[in-house]
């Protein structure tokens, strides 16, 4: 089945414990945490004190996506959260191989995220070292954006690159994901769907998670 990582950026920040406990009862695989610094992306989300509070109530692994400059400075802090996945942006890492090895050394799955304009070819040399590649299907920084249709073909290209290089990395896609776009992405080779508005805006979020997993 397709893996689903609900984005807590779309949760009710006034009722985070309630929303996390709701997802605890769902079949979702991970919780997706978007960290924004107002520098790498034009918005600020939440930092480590809030994520520590989230982690206390979460029974699913944390999928931490750092949309920040110099993400390598926070590897140990992400590990301390109990995170399963640490995702860094290709565009934010001058020495990407070093960052990936440092993440792995802490026992986490190492993920690299690509912005919509960044071609998958930039990962040619490092693909075999990755546990996960996440494609942004919106421009990062804000929730609730419209899906960029060309990201379906980009997912196909990434799947071909991973197969060609012998990489076992999962393909994760984040941005504008719902049942319609999710189906196209899974058919193109996506393994993990990040969904925020589609889940938290649904009348039955738990049922929506199940629907996305069955795509």
Q: Which of the residues are catalytic?
A: 34, 174
**Six-digit token string for 154:** 């980009």
Q: 171: which strand partners?
A: 133
Nearest Cα neighbor of 132 from 160, 112, 104 is 112
Strand ranges (E), the chain: 3-6, 31-36, 62-67, 85-89, 109-114, 132-136, 170-174, 192-195
Q: Round to whole Å and give the CA distance between 139 and 142.
A: 8
Q: Round to whole Å and give the CA distance between 156 and 147.
A: 16
Going by C-beta distance under 8 Å and a sequence separation of 6 or more, which residues neighbour residue 201? 10
Q: What does the DSSP assignment read for 157-213?
A: HHHHHHHHHT--PEEEEESS--HHHHHHHHHHT--EEEESHHHHTSSSHHHHHHHHH
Q: Is 143 in contact with 149 (CB distance < 8 Å)?
A: no
Q: Round to whole Å and give the CA distance between 120 and 97.
A: 16
């Amino acid at each position: 089945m397709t893996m689903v990582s609900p984005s807590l950026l779309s949760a009710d920040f006034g009722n985070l414990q309630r929303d996390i406990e709701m997802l605890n009862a769902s079949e979702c695989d991970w919780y997706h945490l978007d960290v924004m610094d107002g520098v790498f992306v034009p918005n600020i989300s939440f930092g480590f004190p809030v994520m520590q509070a989230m982690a206390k109530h979460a029974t699913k692994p944390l999928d931490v996506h750092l949309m920040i400059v110099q993400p390598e400075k926070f590897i140990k802090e992400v590990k301390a959260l109990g995170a399963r996945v640490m995702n860094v942006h290709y565009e934010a890492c001058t020495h990407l191989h070093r960052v990936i090895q440092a993440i792995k050394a802490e026992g986490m799955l190492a993920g690299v995220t690509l912005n919509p304009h960044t071609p998958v070819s930039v990962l040619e040399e490092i693909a075999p070292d990755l546990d996960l590649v996440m494609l942004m299907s919106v421009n990062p920084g804000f929730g609730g954006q419209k899906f960029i249709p060309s990201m379906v073909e980009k997912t196909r290209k990434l799947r071909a690159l991973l197969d060609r290089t012998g990489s076992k990395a999962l393909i994760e896609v984040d941005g504008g994901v719902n049942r319609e776009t999710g189906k196209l992405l899974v058919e193109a080779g996506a393994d993990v769907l990040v969904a925020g508005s589609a889940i938290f805006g649904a009348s039955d979020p738990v049922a929506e998670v199940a629907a996305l997993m069955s795509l």
